[in-house]
Amino acid sequence: MTEMVKKNASELDHAFRYEISQKVGAKSLLKCIQCGVCSSGCTVTEYVDLQPHRVVASCLLGLRKEVLNSNAIWTCSLCHRCTERCPKNVDYSFILALLRNLAVKEGKIPKEYSGTVVTIYENGYVVPYTGGLKTNIDRRRTRMGLPELVPPNLDEIRFIIDETGLGGLAKKKEDK
Chain contacts with other proteins (rule: CB under 8 A): 23-25, 43-44, 47, 71, 74-81, 83-84, 91, 93-94, 97-98, 100-101, 104, 109-110, 112-117, 120, 124-127, 129, 137, 140-141, 144-147, 149-153, 155-157, 159-161, 163-166, 169
**Smaller CB separation from other proteins, 21 or 93:** 93
Is residue 160 within 8 A of residue 120, CB to CB? The reply is no
Q: How far apart are CA 135 and CA 106, in angstroms?
A: 39
| Phi (first) and psi of residue 99, to 5 degrees | -65, -40
* Rg (the chain; Cα; Å): 20
Q: Least distance (Å) from other proteins to the CB of residue 15? A: 19
* Burial class of residue 156 (count of CB atoms within 10 Å of its CB; 0-12, 13-18, 19+): exposed
**Smaller CB separation from other proteins, 12 or 18:** 18
**Smaller CB separation from other proteins, 23 or 65:** 23
